[in-house]
């Protein structure tokens, strides 16, 4: 029951900024992500219009496998060593996000937004995740910020010869 009471505290921490444009406090969101993915995903499902904006979030080493991070703003976030296996990252804004040594297997990252500072070096990325890069701007990521092996698979998947 204490878990439910804690989650109600998270809900109360949501600050309304106008109809359909609400933001959960960064600290409480990060705490919820680290402690209870199921409750976080339930919150997202119950409140689909809430905008989650966590720039510079420190999720180093977090186990957020299966998290619904669709449409979340993760600009300049630290996801180094994080487990994101099976995460929903569609339409997620990840400019400058660090994914070094992160686990990204079975992720859907269609239409995600990256930039030349997004860093995927040494990330564990599988073919399913690569196939789900469709619609994203993966070509914006500096070539040096991909492992050569992964970059070659991505280029082959999308018939990119550059």
Q: Which domains does the chain have, with CATH numbers?
A: 1-52 (no CATH), 53-162 (2.160.20.80)
The 10 Å Cβ neighbour count of residue 88 is 21
- pLDDT of 13 reads 39
Model confidence pLDDT, tens digit, residues 22-79? 455 788 889 999 999 999 999 899 888 888 888 999 999 999 999 999 999 999 999 9
List the helix and strand counts (H, then E) for the chain. Answer: 5, 4
- pLDDT of 24 reads 58
Model confidence pLDDT, tens digit, residues 84-112? 999 999 999 999 999 999 999 999 999 99
Nearest Cα neighbor of 108 from 84, 80, 79, 75 is 84
pLDDT at 1 over 50: no
DSSP state of 8: H
- Torsion angle (degrees, nearest 10) of CA 156, 69, 30, 49: 150
Task: Give me the count of residues in the chain.
Answer: 162
**Bridge partners of residue 126, in order along the sequence:** none
Q: What is the pTM of this model?
A: 0.82
């Amino acid at each position: 029951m204490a878990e439910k009471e804690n989650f109600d505290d998270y809900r109360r921490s949501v600050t309304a900024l106008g109809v359909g444009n609400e933001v959960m406090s960064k600290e409480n969101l990060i705490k919820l992500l680290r402690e209870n993915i199921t409750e976080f995903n339930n919150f997202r499902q119950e409140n689909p219009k809430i905008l989650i904006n966590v720039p510079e979030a420190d999720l180093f080493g977090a186990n957020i496998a299966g998290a619904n991070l669709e449409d979340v703003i993760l600009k300049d976030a630290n996801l180094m060593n994080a487990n994101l296996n099976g995460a929903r990252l569609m339409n997620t804004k990840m400019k400058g996000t660090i994914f070094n040594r992160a686990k990204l297997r079975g992720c859907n990252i269609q239409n995600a937004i990256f930039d030349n500072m997004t860093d995927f070096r040494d990330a564990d990325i599988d073919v399913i995740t690569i196939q789900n890069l469709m619609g994203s701007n993966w070509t914006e990521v500096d070539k040096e910020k991909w492992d050569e092996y992964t970059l070659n698979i991505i280029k082959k998947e999308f018939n990119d010869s550059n």
